[in-house]
Structure 1
Amino acid sequence: MTETIDLPVETAAEPQNAAPRRKLFIKSYGCQMNAYDAQKMTDLLAPAGFDETQTLDDADLVILNTCHIRERAAEKIFSELGKVREVKDARRAGGLATQVVVAGCVAQAGGGEIVRRQKAVDLVVGPQNYHRLPELLRRAEAMPVIDTEFPVEDKFDFLVTPPRRVTQARGVAAFVTVQEGCDKFCTFCVVPYTRGAEVSRPVEKIVAEVADLAAAGVREITLLGQNVNAYHGEGPDGRVWSLAKLCARLAEVPGIARLRYTTSHPNDMDGDLIAAHRDLPALMPYLHLPVQSGADAILSRMNRKHDRAAYRDIVRRLRDACPDIALSSDFIVGFPGESDADFAATLDLVQEVTFASAFSFKYSPRPGTPGAEMDEQVPEAVKVARLAALQELLDAQRLAFNRSLVGRTLAVLFEKKGRHVGQIAGRSPYLQPVQVEAPEALIGRILPVEITGLASNSLFGRLMPEETQRL
């Protein structure tokens, strides 16, 4: 599945303090793990002389950090690369050099085909190899380089801790990857092929990263993994720790007030983790737990290794442990073989469980996955109609959940300036944006807010009177 095309040319580097700073433009697609990876690439390249820019035309280095989950992901990247090539050509005409990198899961899946189709690309690097970027960029000055082999070394051992001022500029909430890869092999998914087998970072390294973030003012951490609740990292006692035990340890880090984790698999939702939602105040009462379908026949064809009853039982146990918990999920409609009755079963499950939020998609075949080769592919028109019906139901549930919060008092972590002068914006325990009229000095604090209204995608509130009196 992988190939390596490179020319190991060593170039003499000038002393770092003598070299002019260069500009890096990085665009990340898809999941939160890609957003985390993009930050780590930025941090890694800073000592090599790169400062981030938001303007493509100014960039000496362009990185597209890609995602393979969405439909026609590769074609969308090639469309973007066409625009990047035009910028590279224009800069070359002005005597300026530009290196172009395709990173992430499309890079892992596409390999040499990316370079063959788009000659502007200098480097293709998979998601497990970006810690090699400085070296790979030097080699790519001679000819295109492709590095998509799964490395022996752990990339996290080579990543750079950014200066405190950089972390502070990123805000009071942060992502931390604790687990990567997937052993589940759902028949619709490319992740096991692009991210590799499930691996977990050691507890002490995660704690150290979180402590650095907390020291810079971060209050909320979201733990990331392709199957984050499959976490099984080595603890300081030499034993394997679960995600529940990791969360308990991270809640002890001074300054960390909130913990979240995503994305979960139902099969890894064990009793200890469910109990953590009851016992650990820092663990937010909001859980993304993808089910994909409500029909047992389709779940079997998807190789999900759980059925409808098992999912319902997990939901029941979670709500028994934490009555205030709200759920989010993923759904795929039109998977091969999905009948009208199967789709009706999905609607029925949604109506029974009720979700505060959800992501829903039409099935689209991914090359190399078993689903792409299955018989009984569902016609596009049927998929479109089913998706519209499902999204109508999910949107109604989301709106109903948001309305149920009006009049309640929620703890809000204020993160940034609001949309209008005099406003600040934060996040509720359920991840909704909350707009409040209050001074910017409160950014970084968690305060009680009475929810007074809502818009399509956010809530409005006011600080409780006792909090207002303290300002």
Structure 2
Amino acid sequence: MEDIEDLLAGGSGGAPPGFRLPLNAVGINPKTNKSKRSSSKQDEITGSNRDSLAPPSLKIPGTQSDSEYMAGQLTAFGYALTEVPEDADLWLINTNVSYMRDCCSCTVKSPSQSAMSTLITRGRSGKKPLVIAGCVPQGSRDLKELEGVSVVGVQQIDRVVEIVEETLKGHEVRLLNRKTLPALDLPKVRRNNFIEILPINVGCLGACTYCKTKHARGHLGSYTVDSLVERVRTVISQGVKEIWLSSEDTGAYGRDIGVNLPILLNAIVKELPSDRSTMLRIGMTNPPFILEHLKEIAAVLRHPCVYTFLHVPVQSGSDSVLTAMNREYTSGEFRTVVDTLTELVPGMQIATDIICGFPGETDEDFSETVGLIKDYKFAQVHISQFYPRPGTPAAKMKKVQSKIVKQRSRELTCVFEAFAPYTGMEGKEERIWITEIATDGVHLVGHTKGYIQVLVTGPESMLGTSAIARITSVGRWSVFGEVIETLSSANVETQSREEEKKPPCSSVAVTCETCACSAESCGEEKSGEACNISGDISIQDQSTRGLLGWFMRRRDYYKAQGKSEKEVEEEKQKLVSHSHWGFIDKALVCGVFISSLTILVLFISIASRALLRQ
């Protein structure tokens, strides 16, 4: 399967280490024999554990629960998945994007539909049967590009096997009618074996004039607290180390069933292990609904097993633009959310979104947006240009000139990129949770409790562990560190008790990893990280295997990238300077030196004998 968000993430190029790169297309091969269906799901999947289909063997965690559920059902029914498009007998294209973004961006911005059209054209030229899933067909079912292909709506993903089978027979199937919510215990293939993406509700209560989410996902529909808590218990028992609560608007949870988000969060945190081996990440929430529960939400964010990070989109700093967008809050109310959480939650980090060039936006309106971003210096801001979606009220509004929109996008991006959010972290020791290999092929990616991305070197066996890292240097998008201690369950409990005794830290709003959009494309939410605490890896293991792991991963990375030997050597020296040299590392170096010396002596001896014979 191919997620549109992955195409868009790869479109900007030059992503910093640890940021998402595009996935290869994952197609569907015919069913295996029924006798083989009892075999391990992983044996029936080609490459499904690589990348957000994610960390154990995947490098980058994913953000799409729908894709994971569809993959799980297909593999459970005997189908094999492949990441080589040409090898697939059918292409299943999921047009959903990250639930961690504001609304359903694939139905908000034209580039997603364009990416879908490109994939459809590729599939047709390769004579591949096509199934299109997600928000685009659900919200725009009459698109010309969807003629002659099968489509499945966002609330029909539990029928994906039926649709695939009929499509392989040459039939065109369209299942777009809404029904009850899909079960949470459907078979699932996680893109990242450490991360459970848990949808808590679908749809939203908003009516933004630029968005088609409600057209695609309908009105709010929430899962019950009991069903979500039971799912949390199940995934923890399966070894999941990070749980993402996903939603078009997390803050609106439960309003259709008589509960609210704080009730759910408090029920979930009671199930999280006390050793902090499983962490919780709260999904995107719009300001209107979280305003009612700021103190309760802050209390949950202070919990040791909850990341102190929240994505709260503002979209504009101008009240007149927010009114035109029908966002149902003011810039002052957004500031109240940020100020309150920053005050009540030590180390709170908040990400936000901005749409540049919304119809009617004046220079004064844009200046208010720039002022808001400068005031808070968010480390993570998703900047996008306005794209009209057919059928939305905003599409009928008078547009801002394209060149002005682009200029504003560039200006805001320059303002944002001028911030240095991580300055001052050098030398600090932070607890991190490590769950993936960075896109540079060298570093492992860990995150602090505040979700700041920390890049460290070490063996792949450190994936899924919790560790203490010393920050050695900082960059614009992340920080670099060295692991000084891995945490076992025993010392985790000791450390937790010590942390509870410490006075609260000052409220510093240092926000997490960042992705600014270019003038042409919208930035994507970065890959998530999971936590795991394990006593399997000793400090000696890290130091002795770190250099070997680096050489192996770096070799494959540069082979793929076509880097020169000089660049390889420069990177090697830079990274080795941060590594611990253990016994095996030293022995290897000594062995290389002795071997080289032996060869030199033999060469001199042979040359001397040759001269004597003459």
- Fold in common (TM above 0.5): yes
The answer for the alignment partner of 1:416 in structure 2 is: 436
- Aligned CA distance change for structure 1 residues 277 and 212 (closer, same or farther; 3 Å): closer
The answer for the alignment partner of 1:260 in structure 2 is: 281
Per-residue Cα deviation, 1:259-310 (whole angstroms, up to 9, x for no partner): 1122110001123443324542222111110000001110111101111111
Distance 1:386 1:101 in 2: 38
Asked if the contact 1:178/1:223 (under 8 Å) is kept, the reply is yes
The answer for the alignment partner of 1:127 in structure 2 is: 154
The answer for the alignment partner of 2:412 in structure 1 is: 390
Per-residue Cα deviation, 1:45-75 (whole angstroms, up to 9, x for no partner): 1222212211111112311101323324323
Q: Equivalent residues in 2 for 1:102-251 (5 A)? A: 102-114=132-144, 117=147, 119=148, 121=149, 123-140=150-167, 141-151=169-179, 153-156=180-183, 160-162=186-188, 170-232=192-254, 240-251=258-269
The answer for the alignment partner of 2:361 in structure 1 is: 338
Distance 2:357 2:255 in 1: 37
Distance 2:289 2:34 in 1: 47
Per-residue Cα deviation, 1:298-331 (whole angstroms, up to 9, x for no partner): 0111101111111111111111211310111000
Considering fraction of residues, name the structure with more strand: 1
- % identical aligned pairs: 26
Tell me, yes or no, if structure 1 residue 280 matches structure 2 residue 319: no
- Structure 1 position 466, deviation (Å): 8.5
The answer for the alignment partner of 1:100 in structure 2 is: 130
**Amino acid of the structure 1 residue aligned with 2:333:** A
Distance 1:425 1:64 in 2: 28
Distance 2:32 2:411 in 1: 61
The answer for the alignment partner of 1:93 in structure 2 is: none
**What are the ranges of 5 or more consecutive residues in structure 2 without an aligned counterpart?**
1-30, 53-60, 96-105, 488-537, 542-614
Asked if the contact 2:468/2:485 (under 8 Å) is kept, the reply is no
Q: Say which SS state the counterpart of residue 131 (structure 2) adopts.
A: strand
**Amino acid of the structure 2 residue aligned with 1:108:** Q
Distance 1:257 1:47 in 2: 26
Aligned residues between the structures: 432
Distance 2:125 2:155 in 1: 29
The answer for the alignment partner of 1:300 in structure 2 is: 323
TM-score by length of 1: 0.83
TM-score by length of 2: 0.65
Q: Equivalent residues in 2 for 1:284-433 (5 A)? A: 284-375=307-398, 377-397=399-419, 400-417=420-437, 424-433=444-453
Per-residue Cα deviation, 1:215-259 (whole angstroms, up to 9, x for no partner): 22221111000001111179xxxx843222222222232545321
- Aligned CA distance change for structure 1 residues 396 and 430 (closer, same or farther; 3 Å): farther
The answer for the alignment partner of 2:75 in structure 1 is: 46
- Aligned CA distance change for structure 1 residues 14 and 469 (closer, same or farther; 3 Å): closer
Asked if the contact 1:424/1:435 (under 8 Å) is kept, the reply is yes
**Amino acid of the structure 2 residue aligned with 1:41:** M
Asked if the contact 2:319/2:330 (under 8 Å) is kept, the reply is yes
Worse overlay, 60-69 or 380-389: 60-69
Distance 2:206 2:62 in 1: 18
Distance 1:386 1:420 in 2: 31
Distance 1:80 1:16 in 2: 31
Higher relative contact order (CA 8 A, sep 6+): 2
The answer for the alignment partner of 2:122 in structure 1 is: 83
Asked if the contact 1:202/1:233 (under 8 Å) is kept, the reply is no
Asked if the contact 2:266/2:300 (under 8 Å) is kept, the reply is no
- Structure 1 position 170, deviation (Å): 2.6
Tell me, yes or no, if structure 1 residue 16 matches structure 2 residue 34: yes
Distance 1:330 1:420 in 2: 27
Distance 2:426 2:202 in 1: 38
**What are the ranges of 5 or more consecutive residues in structure 1 without an aligned counterpart?**
1-12, 89-97
Worse overlay, 241-250 or 309-318: 241-250
Q: CA RMSD in A?
A: 3.1
Asked if the contact 1:182/1:192 (under 8 Å) is kept, the reply is yes
